[in-house]
Structure 1
Amino acid sequence: MSEDLGNGLTLSGDAQFAFNLDSGEGALQGSALRTITSTLALSGDFGTVVAGRTGGARAAWIKKYDPFGGFGVAGALAVTGGGVGGGEDYANNVVAWVTPELGLTGLKGLLTVTISSASRCRKTSATV
């Protein structure tokens, strides 16, 4: 979903869920669904700020360029030995900033901060 807030700002959200086709269960026994992503994002001239459970840059790249979205027996990960869904990194409690395009090259930067709910340990990473 996406909503134009005016003044060059856009609020968007994403929620993706999955279940096991064999058993109908989610990641935990007895649960109906498992959460893949659930995010809210605010975009503007400053770039995009994203908060929630989100995939890393590798997951986004796989889904963008793999005709099977990284899933299934013919997905890029399955063919290369990564297994179905293997190699897609997701993190909870993420706050990320994606820069606007830098210069004419289309290059963007990504800065993320993740606070683990279990250990209250802060992890920071940057990607260009």
Structure 2
Amino acid sequence: AVMVAANACFALPQTATPWGMFLGAALLGLHMALTHSITVSMVASYMPTGEVPGIGKISGTAVSFTDLLLGFVLAGSNTLAGVLSDITRAQGAGNVGCFMGGASACLAAAALLMVFSKWGDLGNDALVVRRA
């Protein structure tokens, strides 16, 4: 909801003021503070704590691989945001397509999270590595 509100601050003409941009940036920062630490801690909770036979310890490798994947996802999402922005600018609506696309992606992710929490393994403590 925070990211949807941040995208709305950037995309809507009612908030096209310096204060609206400041509010959007503050909401974006709040979103990052709430979500990035959860992502990193989830990766850490699923990492094996000991030696993996034939490989050794992989905790640093797992974190680096996660960052590599996030980099590819970020490159793809920024490309899509640029395309959406170009489309809305060509239609005369300004550069708001990237923010509308971001808000749509956030709403879709929230819907998928609700579906997954009902029928998926979300919250299954048996999957989390216990640390001594």
| TM-score, normalization by structure 2 | 0.25
The structure where helix makes up a greater share of residues is 2
The structure where strand makes up a greater share of residues is 1
| TM-score, normalization by structure 1 | 0.26
Max Rg structure: 2
